[in-house]
Amino acid sequence: MFIKGETIAGAAAGMFGTLLGFPLDTIKTRMQTSHTSMAFTCRTVFRENGIGGFYQGVGSPLMALTILNSLNFTLYSLFTKGLHAVDGDHVYLERVYLSGALVGPAAALISTPFEYVKIQSQLNRNLSRNSAIAAMRIVKFYGLKQIYTGHVINSTRESVFLSTYFTAYESFKRIGREIFHNDKVSVPMAGGFAGAFGWFVSFPLDSVKSKIQGQTLTLDRRPKTVSAIKVLRNVVCEKGIRSLYNGVAPSIMRAFIVSSSRFTAYEVTLRYVRKWKDEEDGKYY
């Protein structure tokens, strides 16, 4: 029942956080691929599609992140338990870091196709806003392999992000408890800082991934496969290292808001699931 509780809590965290932070994700993706300012990007999205434009392609990540967070929190729980990362009140951060990194490859199997469809839906006006229809059209014209474009760089990004994410969360949560003595404050604060820190560290990898997955699709030809190393070299040579952080402002804002709410939803849901389990077990005594 413990793992089932982690799974349910992870699903609740994924759904709530995605709906809250998706508009900023749309802005981030546009800024990464078009190199425009945040204000200009907001005006462009609103002018083209109104408020609904900020949620264009939301179906894909809503489904993906609900599944993904269930998987991430469940596997993280298994790995930390297997590596004995938590011993009473003591947390071995290097083992927490390794646990998060090990979750990355499994997470990428789910996140790569959903990220690809999301980005194509955000950038390509010719694709349906319905994520399932967009995915089917891409697979029909280009094959299943197409939606796994950028899988290697995304796997790397997931491992870097999740290892930083969970390590930062465990660290900030314990610092917050010492300062505030209240999980109602320490959990959302720790979650927010963990999300912001994790995204800042992994953001250059996300920028490269977005450029690879954001290549324009046409019905008459398949986009050329471009390596992550080549994309990175071209971006740095043409625009400098700082360009790898285009879109970092809305991403950090989104990460803090989403991760704060996500960990809060996770901890609250897990607490209720465990309480319900204890009450169910108590009926047999």
Burial group, residue 259, by CB count within 10 angstroms (0-12, 13-18, 19+): buried
Q: Which residues contact 235 (CB under 8 A, 6 or more apart)?
A: 207, 208, 211, 243, 244
Q: What is the 3-state secondary structure (H, E, C) of 198-221?
A: HHHHHHHHHHHHHHHHCCCCECCE
Task: Identify the band that residue 1 occupies on the pLDDT scale cut at 50, 70 and 90.
Answer: very low
pLDDT tops 70 at residue 222: no
Task: Identify the band that residue 9 occupies on the pLDDT scale cut at 50, 70 and 90.
Answer: confident
Q: What percent of the chain has pLDDT over 90?
A: 31
Predicted pLDDT of residue 37 = 82
Residue 22 lies in a domain: yes
Number of domains in the chain: 1
Residue 285 lies in a domain: no
Q: Which string of b and e fits 184-194 if b means at least 16 CB within 10 Å?
A: eebbbbbbbbb
Task: Identify the band that residue 80 occupies on the pLDDT scale cut at 50, 70 and 90.
Answer: very high
Q: Which of 2, 4, 1, 22 is nearest to 262 (CA)?
A: 22
Q: What percent of the chain has pLDDT over 70?
A: 91
What's the rounded mean pLDDT across residues 152-164? 97
What mean pLDDT value characterizes the chain?
84
Q: 86-87 and 90-91: which strand pairing?
A: antiparallel
Residue 284 lies in a domain: no
Which of 205-209, 227-231, 278-282 has the highest average model confidence (pLDDT)?
Answer: 205-209
Distance CA 274, CA 265 (A): 14
Predicted pLDDT of residue 24 = 78
Strand, helix or coil for residue 25: helix
Supply the range of the domain harboring residue 29: 2-279
Express each pLDDT in 161-216 by its tens digit.
Answer: 999 999 999 999 989 988 888 888 999 999 999 999 999 999 999 999 988 998 88
Q: Which of 206, 195, 176 is nearest to 72 (CA)?
A: 195
Task: Identify the band that residue 2 occupies on the pLDDT scale cut at 50, 70 and 90.
Answer: very low
Q: Which residues contact 263 (CB under 8 A, 6 or more apart)?
A: 13, 169, 187, 188, 190, 191, 194
Express each pLDDT in 12-69 by its tens digit.
Answer: 777 777 777 788 778 877 787 777 788 888 888 888 888 877 877 677 667 777 888 8
Q: What is the CATH number of the domain that holds 117?
A: 1.50.40.10
pTM of the model: 0.80
